[in-house]
A = this chain, B = another copy of it.
Amino acid sequence: MALTAQDITGVVGIIPTPSIPGADRWDVENSVDLDAAAKLADDMVRGGVDVLMTNGTFGECAALTWPETEAFVATVVDAIEGRIPVFAGATTLNTRETIRRARRLEEIGADGAFVGRPMWLPLDSKGIVRFYRDLCEAVPNLPVVIYDNPGAFKGKISAAAYEQLSKIPQVVASKHLGLLGGAAFFDDLRAVNGRIRLLPLESDWYYLSRLFPDDVRACWSGNVACGPAPVVRLKELISEERWAECQQLTHELQDALEPLYPNGDFPEFLKYSIQLDNAQFRSAGFLQTGPTRPPYINVPEDYLEGARAAGRRWAELEARYQTSSLETKGTS
């Protein structure tokens, strides 16, 4: 039975695509470390992640070849063994290619598709709605999570477009900017009116779930690839309405991530997010991965050092909350 918005609850982890040494060369052929991918996927489930998504920005949807993506998604699906839903990335440069890929991902066993719109030109609200309607008409049984990333796709999805999108039954959620996008989260939440799940960042989750407990019942996190324990801990604290601890942990997450943004400049981070996020993951040491694929390889060395620091800081949180979760959970 198809997934609905109600099934998107808890921590939606977005994972990178582990690479082999030499993955940064133009002549690499199979750049995915499938063993590391299987382990990472399994670690996500065992660590408490509730929903998995693949092949967003730092998951290198852009830089993978399609055969690599197929192999990676198949590996992840196999490793998950149906324990949690998997939404696989299918963003491309056009409607028909996204449809082709979504169909294939469905065959491979993905539970849904995680899809941003084509980005050569921006699309206006009408164009965005038509794109997702076309996709859902073409692949009528596949649940879809919208990828709302203004930098990648050259514009924010408007509240008016969200209202229309939320009425497409297959659309179950949207990976949202959260508070980074300002008041838009509030407007968009009102526009979708509970029909789809808007996912804020894990570091905004406490705030928004406290204000909208019925609606904001899930967050997305890429930092789970540095270790899922801090975010899973946050989920527990939110469910128990331990607000002071939620605030404290939220501050800890922010402090860990602070050096990821070069001189605190978020737009500057976005220019290199593939390279920096993966450097953070490597540094945290939770997963095994090599270099990023071409063309997203270069990054100023001082930016890189910040990303590595963020990874080390998160690893400390992982160590702390892995233990505390064990204590909390007792022998479970």
Which positions in A face B, CB cutoff 8 Å? Answer: 26-28, 57, 61-65, 92-97, 99-100, 117-124, 126-127, 130-131, 134-135, 137-138, 151-152, 158-160, 178-183, 186, 190, 204, 207, 210-211, 251, 264, 270-274, 293-298
Smallest CB–CB gap between A124 and chain B, Å? 6
Nearest to A134 among chain B residues (CB) is B26
Bound-state CA distance A143–B162 (Å) is 44
Task: Knowing that A62-B93, A63-B94, A96-B293 touch, tell me 18 more A-B residue pairs with CB under 8 angstroms.
Answer: A26-B135, A57-B121, A61-B93, A63-B95, A65-B94, A94-B295, A117-B295, A119-B120, A121-B272, A121-B273, A121-B296, A123-B295, A123-B296, A130-B294, A130-B295, A130-B298, A134-B294, A211-B211
Q: What residues of B have a CB within 8 angstroms of the CB of A94 in the complex?
A: 62-65, 293-295
> Would you give 17 A-B contacts (Cβ < 8 Å), ordered by A?
A26-B96, A26-B138, A61-B93, A61-B120, A62-B118, A63-B96, A64-B94, A95-B293, A120-B274, A121-B272, A127-B295, A131-B294, A178-B183, A182-B182, A186-B207, A210-B210, A211-B211
Among A26, A57, A97, chain B packs the most CB atoms within 10 A around the CB of: A26
Q: What residues of B have a CB within 8 angstroms of the CB of A210 in the complex?
A: 210-211
Q: What residues of B have a CB within 8 angstroms of the CB of A183 in the complex?
A: 178-180, 182, 204
A120–B152 CB distance below 8 A: yes
A121–B264 CB distance below 8 A: no
Q: What residues of B have a CB within 8 angstroms of the CB of A119 in the complex?
A: 119-120
B179–A271 CB distance below 8 A: no
Q: What residues of B have a CB within 8 angstroms of the CB of A190 in the complex?
A: 251
A152–B96 CB distance below 8 A: no
A160–B264 CB distance below 8 A: yes
Bound-state CA distance A152–B121 (Å) is 6
Q: Kindly list the 5 A-B residue pairs having the minimum CB-CB distance in the complex, ordered from nearest.
A: A182-B182, A62-B120, A95-B294, A26-B134, A179-B183
B122–A271 CB distance below 8 A: yes
Nearest to A178 among chain B residues (CB) is B183
Q: What residues of B have a CB within 8 angstroms of the CB of A130 in the complex?
A: 294-295, 297-298
Q: What residues of B have a CB within 8 angstroms of the CB of A204 in the complex?
A: 183
Q: What residues of B have a CB within 8 angstroms of the CB of A96 in the complex?
A: 26, 28, 63, 65, 293-294
| One of B99, B138, B295 near A131 (C-beta < 8 A) | B295
A120–B211 CB distance below 8 A: no
Q: What residues of B have a CB within 8 angstroms of the CB of A158 in the complex?
A: 264
Bound-state CA distance A5–B299 (Å) is 31
